[in-house]
Structure 1
């Protein structure tokens, strides 16, 4: 089941899921801390959304993805995470599909993301969803994550 962020408990799960993988594989950047520390103010308030995948029985959040809103129908797919114990069950695929659908429902005409070449399963997932690789000069933002060495978009 995938649903939008609705409570501080959801915000805490969003932060914990992302801090786990970012800290394990990379370094948390200031922008990570700002977004993860205030998803309602930094994501939801400006027109984006945070989607959470939950275990059917317990309702526990086991995955998440954020949609950050930019002007002119542009959205960023960001902060996607699936708990290690829940990986391999199609949760990431469902989250990406739900995020694409949500961006379109909000008038999105372009969806972009940054990832890292170390994350081959994620890149494969994005390519399956129709994302194509782009160069840094195609990003709609000037300053972007240092760890993002693979940039993609869906139009």
Structure 2
């Protein structure tokens, strides 16, 4: 099963919404206001702000996604997920690689992310990818209790 990572297109809107609602539900998380905005308006939340959204397509189906959005001192990696059926194939790592390549191409020197301590598999991936833990900081997400960065 070959998978390709492509840039978000408007026809990905339903898959983007489905993928994000699914990982939030799987984690037992509420869809918060910032989530709702990102899910309902990926164009305005990410692309119009100079960001990118990457979609993993496998056999013509969107099975994963991740967004990269500029922030004051770098770029934030967010909304990353791979469907349970497609996990274990290195697709999440490939999404991170796509984000890092896009960030480097844009001259970004720092990747940042927020996550939840219950998402241990994701945190392990981020650590193996070179992210380091940061002290807690203000966040719009009630679920965010892990903060990480990777200097490029």
Any runs of at least 4 consecutive aligned residues in structure 1 with deviations exceeding 4 A, and if so which? none
Name the residue aligned to 1:63.
64
Q: Secondary structure at the match of 1:28?
A: coil
Specify every segment of 5 or more residues in structure 1 that has no aligned partner in the other structure, as ranges: none
Any residues of structure 2 matched to 1:39-78 within 5 Å, and which?
39-55=42-58, 58-72=59-73, 74-78=74-78
Matched residue, 1:33 = 36
TM-score (norm 2): 0.91
SS at match of 2:123: helix
Match of 1:150 among 99, 122, 146: 146
Structure 2: gaps spanning 5 or more residues: none
Which residue of 1 is the match for residue 94 of structure 2? 94
Q: Deviations over 1:107-139 (max 9, x none)?
A: 2111100111111110111011100000124xx
RMSD, aligned α-carbons: 1.2
Q: Deviations 1:6-42 (Å, cap 9, x if unpaired)?
A: 12x2122111101001023211101000011100111
Alpha carbons 2:47, 2:53 under 8 Å: kept: yes
The whole-number CA distance in structure 2 between the counterparts of 1:108 and 1:63 is 24
Q: How many residues align?
A: 147
Which whole-Å deviations, capped at 9, do the CAs of 1:60-102 have from their partners, x for residues lacking one? 1101000011235x11000001011111111111111111111
